[in-house]
Structures are given as C-alpha cells and as structure tokens.
Amino acid sequence: MPPEFEGDANSYLDFALGDVLPDAAELAEAADVFLERGAFDVTQARRYLEACRDAGLALRLHGDQFTEQGAIPLAIVLGARSVDHLEATGETGVRTLAASDVVGVLLPASALFLGRPMPPGRALVDAGAAVALATDFNPGSAFCESLPLVCSLAATQLKLSPSEALGACTVNAAHVLGRADRVGRIAPGYRADLVLIDAPDWRYLAYHLAGHIVAQVVVAGELP
C-alpha cells in the first residue's frame, strides 16, 4: 500500500474504490486483487471485487502464492475469470478449481525467481482444470518477459506436455483475457496474430530452454 495508508488496508480500499475506480473503470477491462497473508484478506478482497464487478469490470485474483487463504472459493463464488499463482494450492483446492469454470493461471517463472515450489500443473490438468501460462512479468517477483522460457518450465517443472503448454499460453490465455472468440488459435474469422518459430519442430517452443526461437511476429496479418 502507499505510505500514507500503511497498516490501514480498509482506508486504502475506501480510497481505491471511491476515488480511483470510477475513472479506472473507463480505461480498464478487468480488476485483480492479491488475496494472501500480508496482503488483502478474503473480506477485503470480496469488497473490492464486488465493487469492481458492479463497475462493469471482469474479475481476476492472485492467490495461493504462499498460503491458501480462500482465493479459489472466492473466485468461484464471484465468477472470476482466473486465479493466478496457485503455488500453495493443495489437493482440495485442485479439485475445487477443476470443478469450476475458473482458469488457473500458472506462473512458473515467479516460483523459480523466488525459489518457491512450483504450482501443481500436472495435478490440475489431470483433475480437469483449465490452465493458462503467463510470465507474471513484474519487477518484484518475476523479472521475466519470455513466454518461451515459461513454456519450457511448464514442460520440465510442471510436467505438462508441449501441446498442453502451447494450449495454455494461446487459446486458454485468450479465454482469460475475454478474447477467445478472435485470438488464441489459427482459424477462419480469427485475427492473424501469429508468432513464427525459427525451429525444425513446433515443440522447440518448450524444448529449447531460453533459446532465441521467435523469428517474426505477425499482427493482424501484417508483418512489422
């Protein structure tokens, strides 16, 4: 929290929801909250997310990074698109998430950067959960913008297959962003947003650890 609200999360929420949200809702598509010990508790997170939902924003959560504090049940109750992290998610959380429509966004670069256990990617997929992959690029816990590296970590550390990793960072990620009807796959009627791989096989996306495999990026059918 900003220094002026240090130690007073409820006053900070009053400010965020009263002064910031009305203008932010005109610019943003979704709202996210970090539900974790030392961050926002479940009551505060619910208050924030319900206000954001009422303002027309889609909902996401960061949770279960270090401890289970109720992020998955709250995400399901509020109809959130996703819960990001899940490094601390146990067997009950895995089953609960798998029985819902909420996507688990796995961030293996963050776990690697912080020396934390990896999220239970294999268990989630085997249980029937929809998972996506992301870098979690930020200066505090995942200073990594390489999605190919994340795909490698997904294959080697989360035990996903190359095809599961590819789906997790394309069509499933598009679903989390509310764009699965136009991006995330190569099909008629979809935007031609493509990443061309300089490799003898598409599976090098996960196989070539930290390799420079991206040849070109096509945006809406146009080369830069």
User: Which pLDDT belongs to residue 219?
Assistant: 95
- Strand 131-133: give its sheet, edge to edge: 30-35, 58-63, 82-85, 103-106, 131-133
Instruction: Report yes or no on 24 lying in a domain.
Output: yes
In a domain, 189, yes or no: no
Tell me if 203 is assigned to some domain: no
**Residue 9 lies in domain:** 3-184
What is the amino acid identity at position 203?
R
Per-residue confidence (pLDDT) for residue 30, from 0 to 100: 98
Looking at the domain assignment, is residue 36 inside a domain?
A: yes
Please indicate, yes or no, if residue 92 is contained in any of the structural domains.
Answer: yes
| Residue among 216, 130, 219, 132 nearest 174 (CA) | 132
Q: How many domains does the chain have?
A: 1
Output the pLDDT for position 152: 97
Q: What is the pLDDT of residues 153-164, one digit of tens each?
A: 999 999 999 999
* Residue 25 forms part of a structural domain: yes
* Rg of the chain over all Cα atoms, to the nearest angstrom: 18
Per-residue pLDDT of the chain (224 residues; tens, 9 = 90+): 889 998 899 999 999 999 999 999 999 999 999 999 999 999 999 999 999 999 999 999 999 999 999 999 999 999 999 999 999 999 999 999 999 999 999 999 999 999 999 999 999 999 999 999 999 999 999 999 999 999 999 999 999 999 999 999 999 999 999 999 999 999 999 999 999 999 999 999 999 999 889 999 999 999 98
Name the one residue in this structure whose structure tokens are 């009263």: 18
pLDDT at position 143, please? 96
In a domain, 206, yes or no: no
The CATH number of residue 61's host domain is: 3.20.20.140
Instruction: Tell me whether residue 192 is in a domain.
Output: no
